[in-house]
Chain A
């Protein structure tokens, strides 16, 4: 198989740097396309609809600024979730919808209020585990707690919601 081999002296080349920057942006964009909706959904339950855009924007900005570090972590979305959550102040209680006039999902009337009245740790664990379908390990990484602690938060949160809603099962 004919092939030409040539020795080349390395030279500083800014165009190569720009090319790698373009590739880094491309790589981050690929990541962000998938991560952005996951962050949006996760942070919606954590900080509410009013602060969520800022939290997602801050998380993505941090992700890009530290992309070479972020891409190496096991769960980058969980990592950026923590970044976004720490960047904004959370009102008590957060709102899940901007307007009351929107058509609410088909859930029991007391569910939303019962969920929002939970302590933040339990509410966030329930939201990420059931609302966002994150694994317990992912929830634990995002909240900085162990998976077993996540399970405790979930169990206690469900118990409180059952009591408030008068349900007899999870």
Chain B
């Protein structure tokens, strides 16, 4: 036991203890195949299992007699012939039988259309030429998406009609939400090259912060290190000007799909990370934010159950041109396999790389120019790699790192009291709020445990919780910050204008300051209620 152990706080030692105990545990297997679950039954249209009390023997016997009686009723001739038979041969069941008609319980209950909205798309894909067994169907309220190696079908009117697009490879990035608006990205082949088209929801409504996305990545998707066929993740689209974009990353590259709603130009751009940016891990989640004329990609790569975050910022203009993508040859790759990976012909690949003509030369090429896929110039990209991560204050409260509001994205960072960057994220200290890319703006020198940021057109207002609050007795102070050099200015009488903000543990990201001084909550991101 080192001598400094006594100097450490109990909280830190509990964390050390938990980490040590956790390291001695084994992962628990997932129970997916254990039994037919409620989710299993729901998605295939079966009713939920219900526990029924065991019937006593006399009830079983009565049930058998009942079935016999019903069978006799069903097969007993009716009408005049029946009467004749009754009188001529044996007594049949009385005309007014005591047994009620028993309907056999159906094995499959067809859900009504309204209830089946999020459930599978009941469509015969062979009718639109897509009968490949690997079809993927995403069913949401307003849009359905199916794909296969032969193409893509999209329905934006709940299956009433389908739009088909034939892509030369099995690649369908998609980004959809379950509400009224949606964003869908699909690939299609046009004029000798493949492009990605985005269908977007109503333009007058912002996209939800979290959109479920099912991204099927196969050989055709230019994402390094993705050998697996499928990866499901979440993404957040963003819009700069008239350009919508969604992004995906595996920690070694960033793929951005974008469309201009004005010109309908569609682009797919790839940024291959230099080695020092790369995050090796498993699952990935990529959110896009808009800040002025730039996109900010927040990339979370899960490394040993922890989210390792990289944040990149690049101008929206980087997506306006389709530059050629450079492919770095990996061991074992041939020109043919590279062409297949990107869904282009070997002839097109060789035509884009005239120096490689000839069988001997082709084997020695280390970089291949891939036509039809844009490349984001790394020189236009800024990164805050290493500066972002899980932000927990000394009392265990986590803080979101990025906010978007009024066209700008805000970043929350933490500094210690003395401003020593080595002490970042540890011990009680100040919180700084800054515009992304600008220097930090320190909050007043007060010990806080939570900061909520409300950006607006003039700057931002910050709610600083100074003690442990409760919904009944919140204790906080308000400060505002603008473009002036005054820094954070306390708001003297913030009571009236802030009454409409939930005072629980809710976190409001999108708020609007109206001319009457009242706040209109546009988006409630997180709520403890």
Contact = CB atoms under 8 A, between A and B. Distances in A.
Interface of A: 1-14, 16-21, 23-30, 32-34, 36-38, 40-41, 44-45, 49, 52-53, 56-57, 60-61, 64-68, 74, 96-98, 102, 104-109, 111-112, 115, 126-127, 129-141, 146-148, 151, 158, 161-162, 165, 167, 169-170
Contacts of B45: 17
Given A40-B28, A133-B15, A167-B10, 11 more contacts: A7-B160, A13-B124, A16-B120, A20-B137, A21-B44, A41-B25, A60-B31, A68-B42, A107-B16, A112-B17, A135-B398
Given A8-B127, A135-B396, A147-B528, A16 B29 contact: no
Q: Which of A12, A38, A98, A107 has the most CB of B within 10 A?
A: A107
Given A11-B122, A127-B14, A133-B392, A36 B1 contact: no
Contacts of A49: 21, 24-25
A1 B17 contact: no
Contacts of A135: 392, 396-398
A49 B407 CA distance: 49
Contact of B21 (A20, A96, A130): A96
Nearest to B33: A25
B32 A64 contact: yes
B10 A23 contact: no
Contact of B470 (A7, A147, A170): A147
A74 B526 contact: yes
A144 B493 CA distance: 35
17 contacts: A8-B127, A8-B128, A17-B119, A21-B39, A26-B214, A40-B28, A41-B18, A61-B37, A64-B39, A65-B37, A96-B21, A108-B1, A130-B396, A133-B392, A133-B398, A137-B505, A158-B10
B78 interface: no
B348 interface: no
A contacts with B: majority SS:
helix
Contacts of B398: 133, 135, 138
Interface string B396-415: 11100000000000000000
A141 B305 contact: no
B233 interface: yes
B43 interface: yes
B339 to A, nearest CB: 25
A60 B305 contact: no
A37 B27 contact: yes
Contacts of A19: 120, 135-137
Interface stretch (B161-169, B323-331, B359-367, B451-459): B161-169
Contacts of A133: 15, 390, 392, 396, 398
A109 B39 CA distance: 47
Contacts of A21: 39-40, 43-44
A22 to B, nearest CB: 9
B322 to A, nearest CB: 16
Interface string B214-256: 1000000000000000101100000000000000000000000
Contacts of B232: 23, 26-27, 30
Contacts of B505: 137, 140, 147
Nearest to B119: A20
A1 B263 CA distance: 12
Given A8-B161, A30-B233, A40-B25, A20 B468 contact: no
A108 B14 CA distance: 10
Q: Which of B31, B122, B527 has the most CB of A within 10 A?
A: B31
Interface in B291-310: 302, 305
B161 A7 contact: yes
Contacts of B185: none
A64 B124 contact: no
B396 A134 contact: yes
Nearest to B13: A107
